[in-house]
Amino acid sequence: QQTPVDLEPPPGTRDFYPEDMRLREWLFGHFAEVSRLCGFQSYDAPILEMQELYKRKAGEEITGQMYAFLDKSDPPREVTLRPEMTPSLARMVLAKAQAHNLPLKWWSIPQCWRYETTTRGRKREHYQWNMDIVGCRSVSAEVELLAAVTMLFQRLGLSSKDVGIKVNSRKVLAAVLDSFGVPTEKFAPVCVVVDKLDKIGDEEVKRQLVEDLDVPPGSADNILKSLQCRSVTELAALVGGEESDAVKELSELFSLASAYGFVDYLLFDASVVRGLAYYTGVVFECFDRRGELRAICGGGRYDRLLSLYGAVTEVPACGFGFGDCVIIELLKDLGKLPDMPKRVDFVVAAYNPEMQGPAMRVASLIREGGATADVLLEPKKKVANTFEYADKAGADYIVFVAPDEWEKDLVAVKDLRSTGEDGAKKQVEVPKDKLCSIKEFLRSQSS
């Protein structure tokens, strides 16, 4: 006898049953609508990418987390399930470099894969709303991205009391590290270590800086001290005052956010550096004000990424990734998830097997008019069972297709959501030629 198949999905992955899909489509609908309202265009790319796309970016953990393997070509190619979308975006932009009118504003909801420890809000696969702007050097691009994020929060019912966005600049951090004697080539690896501060603490960060990256102990202490700065002005003092271009850029970002009307979501935090090595300027991270969940969203500027893949000149770009897991956990905790039961406008039921063909024709006409119709595939022997089916389907109406009414080009429609004065469910006979506009017809009969 065969061993039963394990019915659980692989660790760190998810099944999406219909009730889960309703929630996912609701969230993705908000992602798409915000992107549309902001004038971004959608794009997509293969979930399978060449490993080289990620190996070119030195100093990151992500290459060790890839679902990487050799394909079946001869010789075999090194491929991977994509761990993130930004390198695919860079590849696509460069593939048609001459055809683009900059700036590009693109968005997508890719599925990404990383083999890492699973925790609440962290899976080995997740969907991620990405918005990117390519071809704009101004900090206005980052502000536009932050406006989109805060617009989504508002649509989901999350105020600045529920969530916040920590903002920093790697340019400022680079100047700080330079003043502490940290060479330029160690900047990206230092950022990767510093990004773990909340997870591993000061002592372990210092140990990794000193032992793994050969940063002098005194410089490591100064780096940790600089991460405690809680204002742009305070950090500016470490880099020679507020005349620094990087400091001016941060100040302008907060000024534009104020003009936009979402500055209450923002706060400066020198410890935010983001773990990906390709960030070059402003970086940001969205967080749960209660401090109970991991980062909701993160992003920043990556002006040199396209140069890694062959761009002759530096192409300015910035973007963010907003995962689907953490935001659902947060909305669940705050009681802000919508109730999304199964719903359909009409259940169409044949009186007997001989009326199944006409019932299907009725369903077709109803659907032509844009209403949803669920056909009862096998007529029930008892009317009560038909009502039970319609109730479980979440139907507003039952359409009965019976021989006598059909001969008169009519169908009987029962309203399951309201009753007459006698307490019985309302019933209306609907002409066959009104089925394409059945909702309008029913409204006219009830007024």
Specify the pTM. 0.89
The DSSP secondary-structure symbol of 355 reads G
Strands 410-419 and 373-375: unpaired
Identify which of 171, 13, 114 has the alpha carbon closest to the alpha carbon of residue 321. Answer: 114
Identify which of 168, 166, 147 has the alpha carbon closest to the alpha carbon of residue 261. Answer: 147
Q: What is the pLDDT of residue 60?
A: 62
In angstroms, the Cα distances linking 148 to 128, 155, 185, 295, 410 are 15, 11, 34, 17, 50
Cα–Cα dist 342/21, whole Å: 11
**Residues 283/168, Cβ–Cβ less than 8 Å:** yes
Identify which of 184, 187, 180 has the alpha carbon closest to the alpha carbon of residue 274. Answer: 187
Cα–Cα dist 23/329, whole Å: 12
Buried b (16+ CB within 10 A) or exposed e, 317-344: bbbbbbbbbbbbbbbeeeeebeeeeeee
**Residues 147/189, Cβ–Cβ less than 8 Å:** no
Weakly modelled stretches of the chain, pLDDT under 50: none
The token duo for 430 is 């609907």
pLDDT tens for each residue of 73-106:
999 999 999 999 999 999 999 999 888 899 999 9
In one letter, which amino acid is 151? M
Q: What is the pLDDT of residue 73?
A: 95
Q: What is the pLDDT of residue 214?
A: 87
The DSSP secondary-structure symbol of 212 reads I
Cα–Cα dist 326/297, whole Å: 9
pLDDT tens for each residue of 48-67:
999 999 887 655 678 889 99
Beta bridge partners of 300: 283, 319
Q: What phi and psi, each to the nearest 5 degrees, are found at residue 390?
A: -65, -35
Write out 222-289 in H/E/C secondary structure: HHHHHCCCCCHHHHHHHHCCCCCHHHHHHHHHHHHHHHHCCHHHEEECCCCCCCCCCCCCEEEEEEEC
Q: What is the pLDDT of residue 229?
A: 78
291: left (phi over 0), alpha (psi -120 to 50) or beta: left
Cα–Cα dist 222/216, whole Å: 10
Q: What is the pLDDT of residue 421?
A: 66
In the three-class reduction of DSSP (H, G, I as helix; E, B as strand; rest coil), residue 375 is classed as strand
Q: What is the pLDDT of residue 418?
A: 81
Identify which of 67, 132, 177 has the alpha carbon closest to the alpha carbon of residue 306. Answer: 132
Q: What phi and psi, each to the nearest 5 degrees, are found at residue 157?
A: 85, 20
In one letter, which amino acid is 335? G
Q: Cα–Cα–Cα angle for 221, 222, 226, nearest 5°?
A: 120
Q: What is the pLDDT of residue 231?
A: 80
Cα–Cα dist 315/302, whole Å: 9
Q: Provide CB contacts within 8 A for 179, sequence distance 6+.
A: 238, 239
The token duo for 34 is 């915000």
Which residue carries 């500016």 as its tokens? 236
